[in-house]
Amino acid sequence: MPVLFAQIQEVSGASKRLLHIVEQPTEQKNKPVIDIHPDAVPIEFKNVSFAYEDQAKVLNHVNFVLQKNKIIALVGTSGSGKSTILKLLCGFYQMKEEDGCIKLFGHPLQEWNAAEMRTYLSLVSQDIYLFPVSIAENISYGRIDASRDEIIAAAKTANAHNFIMELPDGYETIVGEHGSRISGGQKQRIAIARAILKNAPILLLDEPTSALDTQSEALVQEALEYVMENRTVLVIAHRLSTIKEADEVLVLDQGRIVESGTHEQLLAQNGLYSRLYKKRFITEENAEMVKEEAYSCLSEK
């Protein structure tokens, strides 16, 4: 009976996802190819507001510009609109004219062919979807023409190669739906390998908050740091180290950007970010200081 119940739940979940896809507006794929100017601004939100169907607005007049090879970190409480920003940028939901304008390399999203647009974006989210195919096919999802050597190189960079080689069939191991046969940290590293192989100029990242053991967390973080190098990055930041590395931090509250600046500038404002820092990040910073002192003592010996 427990097995039957689990199977029913799995089918129900799959049905809901399929229904969600079917209900989405049809994407227009016959639009002309867009000529990108090398100096074009990668991402621009102009007075963007948005509400999911029959719900209150989750974004209210959001404005920001993300320049080439810069990092913007989105910070805020749960439900403040951070994930919606990433979803809109990926074109998962269509906007109305009165919702404002999102531009990718100077062109409104409405002008883009959906398939072409997504070649410029790599998304690494918390809710990682792995297809029930081989690990190699999952890694090459964004670049189906990739060679096996390229797939392995991406996996090595993402700290995924070693655990893949320990699986029964290595890169040909079939994963279950949602990657049910591998751990959370392993799924994260496969998703990062996928982003590395795709090599899109823009990385959209929702940092993992799921509980990982210390070793897995370190491997995931190292891989993330690599994939963020020399790239335009919009990240929903859950780690203080990521926030400190950002060129700009946007603090969201109830769908609005209420503060912006660097980590140090925002702390000096003594506003919402400062309160979030004291509540959420100060323990993390103290832990990092203890680690640094321990490493320093070891190196002196």
Q: What are the pLDDT digits (tens) for 228-269?
A: 989 999 999 988 888 999 999 999 999 999 999 999 999 999
- The whole-number pLDDT of residue 301 equals 47
What are the tens digits of pLDDT across the range 173-228?
Answer: 998 765 667 888 899 899 999 999 999 999 999 987 655 677 778 888 888 888 89
pLDDT at 45 over 60: yes
Residue 47 has pLDDT above 80, yes or no: yes
Residue 14 has pLDDT above 70, yes or no: no
The mean pLDDT value of the chain amounts to 84
pLDDT at 3: 42
Which pTM does this prediction carry? 0.82
Torsion of CA 43, 48, 50, 56, to 10 degrees: 140
Tens digits of per-residue pLDDT, 58-102? 999 999 999 999 999 999 988 899 999 999 999 999 888 899 999
What confidence tier does 30 reach under pLDDT thresholds 50, 70, 90? low
Query: What is the rounded CA–CA span in Å between residue 11 and residue 160?
Result: 30
DSSP code, position 184: H
Whole-number pLDDT of residue 179: 62
pLDDT at 31: 67
pLDDT of residue 286: 60
The residue type of 238 is H
Domain 42-300 has CATH 3.40.50.10800: no
Q: What is the pLDDT of residue 298?
A: 39
* Whole-number percent of the chain with pLDDT over 70: 80
CB 50 within 8 A of CB 59: yes
- What is the pLDDT, as a whole number, of residue 257? 98
Tell me whether strands 121-124 and 202-206 are parallel, antiparallel or unpaired.
Answer: parallel
Which of 28-37, 89-98, 132-141 is the least confident region? 28-37
Q: What's the sign of the alpha-carbon dihedral 172, 173, 174, 175?
A: negative
